[in-house]
Amino acid sequence: MPTGIFLIKWDEIIGGTVYMRYPEDLEIPDPIVQQITISHNFTESYIITKEKQWNSVSYYNENKEMIIVLILGIYDDGKDYLELLEDFNKELDKEFKEDMLKIRLETMFISSLEAFRTTDAVITKLSNEVAFLRTKEYDFEERFKKIQNSDHLHVKSKILFLLAINDGLSLEEIKNSVNTSSKWLKGVLETLVKNRVVGYNSNQDVYYINL
């Protein structure tokens, strides 16, 4: 989650200097300020700066000769905020008095938090959906095992069922799941292959359902 936003200006004597920040008590290490300034090299560009205890995405605005820097949480991906930073950069191009610029900076930061919450909500939703699908997958596997182990299915039905729920099985794998003689099993498989219900991949030595 973003933790702050600030602007860097160039000073002929001390180099990069923090011109404005939000929140006001935001702590910004000077070495990081200089590193970001040097990295941009007065060229309009995006830069993601990730150190041990620092993570940020920045953009150099050539018109204003300022760098806008959004400080991120240590586990945030700077790429997720590039589009947002582009919008911030457009805001920076507008003519603002200093007091108004401070207000805009705060607004930009709030927008970054909203963007984070939206992204976080999407990730949470996807995680829940994946967990649900995994649960369903487990349920289906258990149901398939029960049917597979049933004594009420004929050999041909069991073979087709096994091949339907697997990507491909060798003769040995099918034999381990179907209680019948090797000769009978081979005969059934040959018939299924002949009728093009089942296919056989000689390179991988597996049988599969023909689609």
Q: In the chain, what are the domain boundaries?
A: 4-119, 150-209
What are the tens digits of pLDDT across the range 101-122? 888 888 888 877 776 555 555 5
What's the mean pLDDT when you consider all of the chain?
81
Q: DSSP assignment of 137-159, as one string?
A: HHHHHHHHHHHHT-TTS-HHHHH
What confidence score (pLDDT) does residue 8 get? 94
Q: What's the rounded Cα separation, in Å, for the pair 121 and 118? A: 5
Verdict on whether the full-model pTM lies above 0.95: no
CATH architecture, domain 150-209: Orthogonal Bundle (1.10)
Mean pLDDT confidence for 40-60: 90
Handedness of CA 127, 133, 137, 140 (dihedral sign): positive
In the CATH hierarchy, which fold is given to the domain comprising 4-119? Beta-Lactamase (3.30.450)
3-class SS at 66?
Answer: strand
- What 205-208 contacts at long range (C-beta under 8 Å, 24+ apart), as own/partner pairs, is 205/170, 205/171, 206/168, 206/169, 206/170, 207/163, 207/168, 207/169, 207/170, 207/171, 207/174, 208/163, 208/167, 208/168, 208/169
Q: Which amino acid is at 156?
A: K
Mean pLDDT confidence for 130-135: 72
